[in-house]
Amino acid sequence: MSILSVEQLTKSFGDKDLFNDLSFTITNHQRIGLIGVNGTGKSTLMKVIAGIDSADTGNMDHAKDFTIEYLPQEPELEQEKTVLEQIYYGDSVMMVTLRQYEQVLQELAERPEDSAVQERMLSLQQKMDETEAWEASTAAKTILSKLGIESYQKKVKELSGGQKKRVAIAKALIQPADLLLLDEPTNHLDNETIEWLEEYLSSYKGSLIVVTHDRYFLNRVTNLIYELDGGNLYIYEGNYETFLEKKAEREEWEKQAEQKHRNALKKELAWLKAGVKARTTKQKARKQRVEAMKEETFSTDQQQVEMAIGSKRLGNDVIELQGVSHAFENQTIVQNFDYLVVPGDRLGIIGPNGSGKTTLLNIMAERMAPDEGEVRIGSTVKIGYYTQDHEELDGSLKVIEYIKEVAEVMHTADGDVVTAEQMLERFLFPRSQQWTYIRRLSGGEKRRLYLLRVLMSEPNVLFLDEPTNDLDTETLSVLEDYLEQFPGVVITVSHDRYFLDRVVDQLLAFEGESEPRRFYGNYTEYLETRKEEHKQNQAVKKAESAQEETRRNNRKRKLSYKEKQEWETIEDEIAELEEELESIASEIEASGSDAGKAQELFQRQGEVEQDLEAKMERWEELSLIVEESNG
């Protein structure tokens, strides 16, 4: 059943056409991934659908009671509201009831003996029953808990940036909606929270459109891909993996169609040039057809982010940390930490938000001094640092000016020279856009430009702090290809599982200890190891629990008459078996070359060892009962 119908939607930004005549229909329970190169209008399309922005032309039709919930990239929250007031916003009866109920709960905690508050509580409990709001309240608390939000009564203005993002996500998930729009929901979330969000969205009742660079997330959550490319919308049934396959097929088909078109145009031109006699009207129609064919275009010039590999020579000494200790706001990040970075290293730093990943990265890059210890950086090291929160780009500069501030050209490993203009083209900034002011770029385009500036400096050690945030999937894919060929060292902080799997081969994992865990392998291998360790820990706990249960049971009883007799003789029996083993060992040694006798003795030795082991186990059981009953 259709819940939203969009017809001939068109939107321009200045002299740039974002999309032209887009038409599509959204039905119940669709899971749509909206992808495309940064600057193609993904976020704008989401805002138009949400009613926050308007299209130049086009129509959108939906049912009268149709509701949309929208999560923008940057949280838009009311600073003076508490967390619960913010997530229970709106005028629906249920949301008003939930707000009032949470308020009276707070009042009751402060004035438990106040009869007026008690009466209001009883009244609101009845109203919660009538509006069937209990389930919504439980779901809201679960969502908040899973997102790591515990201070429900805190005002929004008191929260950190990461906490605000999580509150905004909770707000979007808790509000009932026919269509949920999520713009980069995984930014600034740790991997555990992202995995929970994937699972939650799989059972979300409404339909969903998500813009994200997280390719594992796209693959696991979506069942339909919308691709914005060159102002057009291409729709693919299936998840991200299926999209990649079908897009390759589409591009191949378009190349074939373009070739056929060229051949037909060539024949038509030849016919006209030959001056074949024909009636004037037919000749005129043919000329018109040729002109129309000349105007026809095909999307076969696929833009790709290709990077020339430029890097200064790197010696054997790279980075060494000796006895490094550092604490931040009473939290110990590392304690007496030693680490050696060698040429060729591909290191990922992972862990929950706030665990100190960026701090450690800054210490390694000598951007921050540790409380104790020493950081040594080799004389040939040239660092390129892509930061998560870079300074705002100077909007008064033009794109080409910003890049040329670093270098006019880049030298590749093969000795070739690539100009700044050429590198910009490979980064999807055509010559026509290179003289555009930076202030006119989208957020994603600015990030892509900033990444190019870092690489244009030809570093041999790359520090990347959350490089996947705000970069589109196409740019990320080619960045990963670039890093595979990059001859220097790569050290990255990232929560992007796909990126980590492709780029790194060792990890420093913050797991709650003062020293990060060293793991050799990629992120998926690390997860599998953690799961196996969890299984083993559970097995140990189960065994300990069973042992404790046995102890508890043993406390409740004493030795039976038969067990008493067994207890009185078992130590003598154990001693006899041990003596027999010693005797057999002596006989084996004395048997010499008599292989037959030796074989018999070895067989008897095995039988006695089994008997001895059984007796020892039984002695432990009986001794435990004796100990507990005497205790």
**Which of 128-142, 367-381, 485-499, 549-563 shows the lowest per-residue confidence on average (mean pLDDT)?**
549-563
Neighbours of 500 (CB within 10 A): 22
Which residues are CB-neighbours of 316 under 8 A, at least 6 positions away? 342, 343, 378
Do residues 55 and 233 lie in contact, with contact meaning Cβ atoms separated by under 8 Å? no
> Which residue in 436, 402, 438, 437 sits closest to 420, CA to CA?
402
Give the mean model confidence (pLDDT) for residues 129-143: 86
* pLDDT classification of 361: cutoffs 50, 70, 90: very high
Maximum average pLDDT range among 12-26, 158-172, 265-279, 487-501: 487-501
Per-residue model confidence (pLDDT) at position 554: 57
The residue that leads in pLDDT, 395 or 549, is: 395
CA separation, residue 302 to residues 225, 338, 370, 483 (Å): 19, 47, 47, 22
Ranges of H-type helices in 417-560: 420-426, 443-456, 473-485, 497-503, 523-555
Task: Give the separation between CA 208 and CA 456, rounded to whole angstroms.
Answer: 39
Q: What is the pLDDT of residue 305?
A: 43
Do 291 and 309 meet the contact criterion of CB atoms below 8 Å apart? no
Residue 577 CA to residue 612 CA, distance in Å, equals 6
- pLDDT tens sequence across 581-617: 888 888 887 877 677 787 888 888 889 899 999 989 8
Asked if pLDDT for residue 69 goes beyond 70, the answer is: yes
If pLDDT is split at 50, 70 and 90, which confidence band does 380 have?
very high
DSSP state of 591: T
- CB contact at 8 A, 311 and 380: no
Sheet holding 57-62, edge to edge: 16-27, 2-13, 57-62
Element (H, E) at 334: strand 331-341
d(CA 563, CA 566): 5
CATH topology identical between 319-521 and 557-630: no
Cβ(464)–Cβ(491) below 8 Å: yes
Count Cα neighbours of 195 within 13 Å in the Cβ-side half-sphere.
9
**What confidence tier does 276 reach under pLDDT thresholds 50, 70, 90?**
low
What is the sign of the dihedral through the CA atoms of 151, 154, 156 and 157? negative
Task: For 560-570, write each residue's pLDDT tens digit.
Answer: 888 888 888 98
Segments in 222-279 forming alpha helices (H): 240-274
pLDDT band for position 280 (cuts 50, 70, 90): low
Confidence of residue 268 (pLDDT cuts 50, 70, 90): low
CATH architecture of 319-521: 3-Layer(aba) Sandwich (3.40)
> Phi first, then psi: what are they for 116, rounded to 5°?
-65, -40
CA distance 76 to 87: 12
Residue 283 predicted with pLDDT over 80? no
Closest-CA residue to 472 (of 163, 181, 234, 183): 183
Element (H, E) at 347: strand 346-350
CA dist 102 and 127 (Å) reads: 13
Mean pLDDT for 613-622 is: 88
Write down how long the chain is: 631
CA separation (Å) from 170 to 140, 167, 205?
A: 8, 5, 15
* Domain assignments of the chain as residue spans, ordered by start: 245-295, 319-521, 557-630
| pLDDT score recorded for residue 462 | 94
Q: What mean pLDDT do residues 517-531 have?
A: 91
Tell me how far apart the terminal alpha carbons of the chain are, to the nearest angstrom: 72
Distance CA 148, CA 164 (A): 11
Average pLDDT of 529-534? 88
Decide if pLDDT at 558 tops 90.
no
Band (pLDDT 50/70/90 cuts) for residue 191 is confident
Mean pLDDT of 59-76: 88
Q: How many angstroms separate the CA atoms of 137 and 605, rounded?
A: 69
- Could you say which architecture CATH assigns to the domain 557-630? Orthogonal Bundle (1.10)
The mean of the pLDDT values for the chain is: 84
In this model, does residue 247 exceed pLDDT 90?
Answer: no
Over residues 383-411, the pLDDT tens digits come to 999 987 766 889 899 999 999 999 898 87
Cross-strand partners of 491: 347, 463
Q: How far apart are CA 145 and CA 173, in angstroms?
A: 13
Which phi and psi angles does 46 have, rounded to 5°? -60, -40
What are the helix (H) ranges across 21-114?
A: 42-50, 83-87, 93-110
Q: What confidence score (pLDDT) does residue 374 get?
A: 95
Q: What is the mean pLDDT of residues 429-441?
A: 90
Q: Could you tell me if 185 and 466 are in contact, meaning their C-beta atoms sit under 8 angstroms apart?
A: no
pLDDT digits (tens, 9 = 90+) for 292-327: 655 555 555 544 444 446 567 888 999 999 999 999
